[in-house]
Amino acid sequence: MRSGSRLLITLSLVSSILAGAGAATADTGIGGGSKTPPKPGQKTSGGSDNGTLSAGVIVYDRSKNGSGSSVGPVTSTTAWTPPACWYAPKYTPAQLKAYLEPIWNAESTGSQWDLEQRNKYEKGGDAPGTYKDFNKDKTGKGYWWDSYANESFPPGWDKCTEPIFWVDKGDPPPANVQNAVTPKILAELAYNEIRVPSTKVTLAPANTTKVNLPTWAWLDGAQFKPVSVTASVPVLGISATTTAEPISLKIDPGTADAQTYPASGVCQINGGRIGEPYAKGKANDTPPCGVKYLRSSGNGTYPLKATITWKIHWTGSDGTGDDLPDGTFGATQNVTVQEIQAVNR
């Protein structure tokens, strides 16, 4: 299948989906059960390995992920991003036939292209890279793999243009196909699903502080513990768990007229504790984590931003594993700073 033609069909299908159209009249693949083409990257759960496949290919276990209304995704600290598209099992032989034949019969892709496709998937078998009758004689012994895309359609979602290809059970995907699912690719996809808690810090003094007064900052350490997401492909028996662990808090006062504690503004996380709560009798102590404003905020406020850096790593079902780029997630809160000549605490 020529990549340009496949891309054209993919774009046409996406346009149809977004417009609410559904031209297919049979199950479209492992996403199964739907009478219209599934959205690229559609997330479902479950699955069976009986040759008919009834549910989605990638399953996400988020039971150990961050939860609640204030959680959010991490942003890589490097230029790296999780895969925007990937390849995974999508069709049984019968499902591929049900998917391709309506396209050919519609005669909207040109007779030459349709003939090439028929010779590749239906009437081949002798020449390398061709198949007979959609590989029906291998039903239950493997799957047709095709591309999926992140459902938010980030840059690069349409770059997976390899023709649909067959992989026998127990065999690895072709080495020349980038982003074919392996534990490593699953780990990278799970990175995209990680959710971590908000980083609104507690301040003392709270809400309103004073010029030249060291302001203590800390976070509820109970909220900041490792979170993880496991991505698996049940029909292949592979999985990977991606784990994020908090390692530091960075404070940006929101103005150059301020001094942070420590001077770098980065508060290391020690023993699960981030900063130290202010307590009576510490008025003359230097806060281990905090800020001192040198100028009043006047009639406004300063946007103090607190950002947690998370160290991220993964382990695969095949014993592989490694680090992934650190991720960050931050929140901004308004701080009022008043001018005062003398302060007694």
**Number of CB atoms found within 10 A of residue 17's CB:** 16
* pLDDT band at 51; cut points 50, 70, 90: very low
d(CA 28, CA 98): 7
The model's pLDDT over 154-183, given as tens digits with 9 standing for 90+, comes to 999 999 999 999 999 999 999 999 999 999
* pLDDT band at 30; cut points 50, 70, 90: low
pTM: predicted TM-score of the whole model, two decimal places: 0.81
> What are the structure tokens assigned to 158, written together?
């349409």
* pLDDT band at 49; cut points 50, 70, 90: very low
**What are the DSSP calls for 124-166, one per residue?**
-SSSTT--BGGGGGGTTSEEEEEEEE-TT--TTTT---PPPEE
Q: DSSP class of residue 317?
A: T
In this predicted structure, what is the pLDDT of residue 44? 36
On average, the pLDDT of the chain sits at 84
* pLDDT band at 38; cut points 50, 70, 90: very low
The model's pLDDT over 86-135, given as tens digits with 9 standing for 90+, comes to 999 999 999 999 999 999 999 888 889 999 999 999 999 889 899 999 99
Strand partners for 238: 233
pLDDT of 32 above 50: no
